[in-house]
A and B are shown apart, each in its own frame.
Chain A
Amino acid sequence: MSNKIRYISEDHLITRQNRAETEFLAAFAAEKPTFAQPQVVLNPYLINPLCALVMFTTSEALAPTLTVHGRRYERENLSHTFKAATEHFLPVLGLYEDFANTVSIALPDGRTTTLTIRTGKLPAEVCRCLNVQASLDYLGDAIMFLSPAGKNLPTAYDYKGDIRWLLTENTMFDIKRMKNGNIVTGSSRFCHMPYNCTGLIEINLLGKIYKEYRMPGNYHHDHFEMDNGDLLALTQDFSRDTVEDMCVLLDRNTGAIKKTWDYRRVLPMDVGGSGSQDAHDWFHNNAVWYDKGSNSLTLSGRHQDAIINIDYESGALNWIIGDPEGWPQEMVDKYFFTPVGDVANFDWQYEQHACVVCPDGDVMCFDNGQYRAKVKDKYIANRDNFSRGVRYRIDTAKMEIEQVWQYGKERGAEFFSPYICNVEYYGEGHYMIHSGGIGREHGYASPSLGAFLDMKDPKAELRSITVEEKDGIVLYQLETEGNFYRAEKLPLYHGGDNLLLGEGRLLGSLEVTEEFDTVPEAEEVFELPPSFHNLLIEEDEDRFVFHGKFEKGTLAMLCLESGDERHHYFLNTSASWHLAMCSGAFLEKDERDIKIHISKLGLHGMFTVKLIINDRKYQTGVSICCP
């Protein structure tokens, strides 16, 4: 086998989308397509194969109505009326896969045009619907969006379980519609293991990225839109020895960090640990919610089995919902609640996700329940456990708590998700409970997280079950293959701008990647590293990612050289075991496969990439350009 290093240089997706948009707008300008013969671009922004853009002109400003025809009956038709214009750029959303879709456009003057838009097959690894219980009466024009928890893809399913929206980019974590109708979710760009991506992306449902909000501490798990549009986002400071213990407020226009909350200021790190806690990921903040009434942040910390509330302005701790066992008595007295009401049926939440503050101040969450105890000898095995959605009523004057609703305990281990998941509050008695992290082996709840299951084993299966309940009646249930981080029910079209033309923007900044100031002694050799290492360098506009295979215990260091300038980055070749793996998107099957992201921030010029492996310094033949 010859020694070879693979090198891929690709523009950022925003740049590629900008280019694609410029091209189809140029074609539009050149041809001025008519209503009778509109231009159609399938997948105009490159990452949604179930959408198209229809473009045409009219001599006077008219408001067209576009209809994507249902595959079965007229009642399934999806229609949307756009603003009046003379130049029309109509997003076509919700196309069926591998199908000759009928799309019609009607003008107020009575003219109509009917198009056939043919779509292809979706990628083989797409997670399919296995069962769905739903009706058009209940769902209306909404479909269920699921955000991935692994290498699967963001996917949305209609009332029949047909896939009507899919991104071919592995975007991550929370997925929410903003007040302007856009979607904000985690970017697919790897930065730090286990699942930290560069930041958030704001997209429309065609897949066009309007903005990427980069953060030096990266993004993980959750975000929340404030009244003025700014975004709360969960992050960390990689120069510290702990992770997932900070929240920032991002300026929606510039991406600048306007405010930071550091939970190390208000919580002890070595108490109240859940079964998954370690010193590094002591809190594991997986959700944030801003409550205007109390001007406070409610935060879920999986690794302390705790939902905490802090003052928005000062960051001071107000209260903690959780089993008080293992916490210092003075904190129990001051911050914890005492159960009241039907205490016989009261359960605390354990390793929970997705805290939600209801309009009346009640607090909901998805109680994963992993371990379901604070001390090891009381831990509940996954196959004997349950997960549920739960709603607590809290009285902060009396420091009392009452469980006023739950769904899921009665289903036992069949509905058990040891990680991820969410709940939604739609109205009194009307909730969604998404158990998206089900992993089974031999038909039993697996002791491992889904991300770690060997899916080549026919006895292993991953499942995601999303339920909606109203007044105690289940009105919707979707069961799919795979694990999905969150569910979000949305209509495809909204009342705002479903497409804004113009260049997408890369905002904020990545970190300056930490360098290593000691360089091991190594003999420089003028050859490529052995082929075993299977090296790959992926260069992007603002960073590059180095991939390689190394036996455990190998000493490895990446070197960037330009004249006398040197930069060194240590490659950790030790096997690392992550107790939390809320997204396995970046997880490699072979633990010897490692990757490291190097931000270009702080680097200027053309750098030759070299690689120290044990006592030899190899060439790679690759140069990285840092503007």
Chain B
Amino acid sequence: MISEINEQEYEALDEKEAKMIEFYSKTCGPCKMLSFVLKDIARQKPEFPIYIVDFDENRELKERLGVKGFPTMLFYKEGREVSRLEGLKQKPAIISAIEALA
């Protein structure tokens, strides 16, 4: 399941939920490619929540989370960032990070 969220919606997320937050930019080719990768993953793991955040429109949030560039994927478990992946990654690396949250 992929949902686009903004800063306010980020604040309202269930803290305990294991999830991935991806920061992307509309001006970034690797981000566009990653959107197809994430769609594949969402099909493979429909129950896992993937949230996408526009890097350029949510600057305060990305500063607060220490996100320096795009795409960046943050993996959360019980309200804590467990790992992050920077740059375009292929499915196995992302699935491995998701499965590490279990």
Residue B59 at the chain A interface, CB threshold 8 Å? no
Of the candidate stretches A255-263, A406-414, A438-446, A568-576, the one touching chain B is: A568-576
| A572-B90 in contact given A518-B33, A557-B33 (Cβ < 8 Å) | no
Residue B91 at the chain A interface, CB threshold 8 Å? yes
Residue B45 at the chain A interface, CB threshold 8 Å? no
Name the distance in Å between A515's Cβ and chain B's nearest Cβ: 9
| A520-B36 in contact given A570-B88, A572-B88 (Cβ < 8 Å) | yes
Which B residues are CB-close (under 8 A) to A518? 33, 36-37, 40, 90-91
Interface SS of chain B: helix
Contact A556 B36 (CB under 8 A): no
Name the distance in Å between A364's Cβ and chain B's nearest Cβ: 38
Which A residues are CB-close (under 8 A) to B36? 518-521
Residue A552 at the chain B interface, CB threshold 8 Å? yes
Contact A553 B90 (CB under 8 A): no
Which B residues are CB-close (under 8 A) to A552? 27-29
Q: How many B residues, CB 8 Å from partner? A: 14
Which B residues are CB-close (under 8 A) to A516? 33, 90
A556 CA / B29 CA spacing, docked (Å)? 7
Which A residues are CB-close (under 8 A) to B88? 570, 572
Residue A396 at the chain B interface, CB threshold 8 Å? no
Residue-wise, chain A 469-481 has the 8 Å CB interface mask toward B (1 for contact) of 0000000000000
Residue A135 at the chain B interface, CB threshold 8 Å? no
Q: What residue of chain B has the Cβ atom nearest to residue A515's Cβ?
A: B90
Residue A360 at the chain B interface, CB threshold 8 Å? no
Residue B80 at the chain A interface, CB threshold 8 Å? no
| Partner pick for A520 among B26, B33, B90, CB 8 A cutoff | B33
A614 CA / B28 CA spacing, docked (Å)? 12
Residue-wise, chain B 31-51 has the 8 Å CB interface mask toward A (1 for contact) of 011001100100000000000
Interface SS of chain A: loop
A316 CA / B88 CA spacing, docked (Å)? 34
| Partner pick for A555 among B25, B32, B90, B91, CB 8 A cutoff | B32
Interface residues of A in 533-587 (CB under 8 A from B): 550, 552-557, 570-574
Interface residues of A in 103-153 (CB under 8 A from B): none
A164 CA / B27 CA spacing, docked (Å)? 50
Residue-wise, chain A 504-517 has the 8 Å CB interface mask toward B (1 for contact) of 00000000000011
Contact A555 B33 (CB under 8 A): yes
Which A residues are CB-close (under 8 A) to B28? 552-553, 574
| Partner pick for B29 among A519, A521, A574, CB 8 A cutoff | A574
Interface residues of B in 6-38 (CB under 8 A from A): 25-30, 32-33, 36-37
Q: What residue of chain A has the Cβ atom nearest to residue B29's Cβ?
A: A573
| Partner pick for A553 among B32, B37, B40, B91, CB 8 A cutoff | B32
Name the distance in Å between A84's Cβ and chain B's nearest Cβ: 62
Which B residues are CB-close (under 8 A) to A574? 28-30
Which B residues are CB-close (under 8 A) to A573? 29
Name the distance in Å between B84's Cβ and chain A's nearest Cβ: 12
Which B residues are CB-close (under 8 A) to A571? 29
Contact A553 B27 (CB under 8 A): yes
| Partner pick for A554 among B25, B29, B90, CB 8 A cutoff | B29
Residue-wise, chain A 348-366 has the 8 Å CB interface mask toward B (1 for contact) of 0000000000000000000
Q: What residue of chain A has the Cβ atom nearest to residue B38's Cβ?
A: A518
Question: Which residue of B25, B28, B33, B36 has the most chain A CB atoms within 10 A of its CB atom?
Answer: B33
Q: What residue of chain B has the Cβ atom nearest to residue A522's Cβ?
A: B36
Which B residues are CB-close (under 8 A) to A556? 29
B residues whose Cβ falls under 8 Å from a Cβ of A: 25-30, 32-33, 36-37, 40, 88, 90-91
The 9 closest A-B pairs by CB, nearest first: A573-B29, A555-B32, A553-B27, A520-B36, A518-B37, A518-B36, A555-B29, A554-B29, A518-B40
A sample of 6 inter-chain contacts (CB < 8 A) reads: A517-B90, A517-B91, A518-B36, A557-B33, A570-B30, A572-B30
